[in-house]
A and B are shown apart, each in its own frame.
Chain A
């Protein structure tokens, strides 16, 4: 009977596997991504890269954001490939909010995470500000690691 089964098409996600959230906006620095992948592999965890979208106040909160999704999808795909090369299963997300912290809050209110890996600010680049990181460290419902991208 087992000979009739095809191999699974994606890496199996173990039941009750730990989930590591990696929220980002813009691009995800390779140093941060590599570190998150190493953590996920060491903990046999699922990597949850989450692209955070900002809904401008001039738009209704439930407005579709197709242009931003077109940017997010290839980035998430690249993250997924990098993780799969290392044997780490991925469960990507796109979440939106009025601010990055609003989007993050919505995400962890909707599903549980065991660890959060956030990139530290890069001057002049999109992503978390120092103030937002301070909020994240104060309010995150899970152990949180802030990683400084390579200089």
Chain B
């Protein structure tokens, strides 16, 4: 999702291009949606496409945002009744990854 009119940096364009190419390799559909609110945009796409399963990465949210707006995950659960939501961990966070 990107905000309406948002320009991407070169790095973001490269990352987006890599994701598009990975989607082709996987046989997945890659959608780019415009919106100002991630949860509202996901909700719209889920109902437009009859989605029953949503995968999300681990959000990198600030505590302040969580306190003010509620966490992204709890908002998704609340806004998507009847839809399975799976949070995929960042493999780099596993203990064996070390640092």
Contacts and interface: CB of A to CB of B under 8 A. Distances in A.
Interface of A: 1, 4-6, 8-11, 13, 15, 53, 62-66, 69, 77, 80-81, 84-85, 87, 90-91, 93-96, 110-112
Contacts of B88: none
Contact of A84 (B17, B28, B97): B97
Interface residues of B, number: 27
B11 A15 contact: yes
Given A63-B27, A81-B94, A90-B92, 4 more contacts: A6-B61, A15-B11, A94-B22, A110-B14
A77 B88 CA distance: 14
B62 A69 contact: no
Contact of B24 (A64, A77, A111): A64
Interface in B1-44: 11, 14-15, 17-18, 21-22, 24-28
A77 B21 CA distance: 18
Given A9-B58, A9-B93, A10-B92, A111 B14 contact: yes
A65 B25 contact: yes
A24 to B, nearest CB: 16
Contacts of B58: 9
B91 A80 contact: yes
Contact of A81 (B11, B62, B63, B97): B97
B29 to A, nearest CB: 11
B74 interface: no
Contacts of B90: 9-10
Q: Which 8 A-B pairs have the closest CB atoms?
A: A64-B27, A4-B63, A85-B98, A111-B14, A4-B64, A81-B97, A84-B97, A10-B92
Interface string B51-79: 00000001011111000000000000000
A136 B92 CA distance: 31
B96 interface: yes
Contact of A110 (B18, B26, B94): B18
B25 A80 contact: no
Contact of A66 (B14, B27, B96): B27
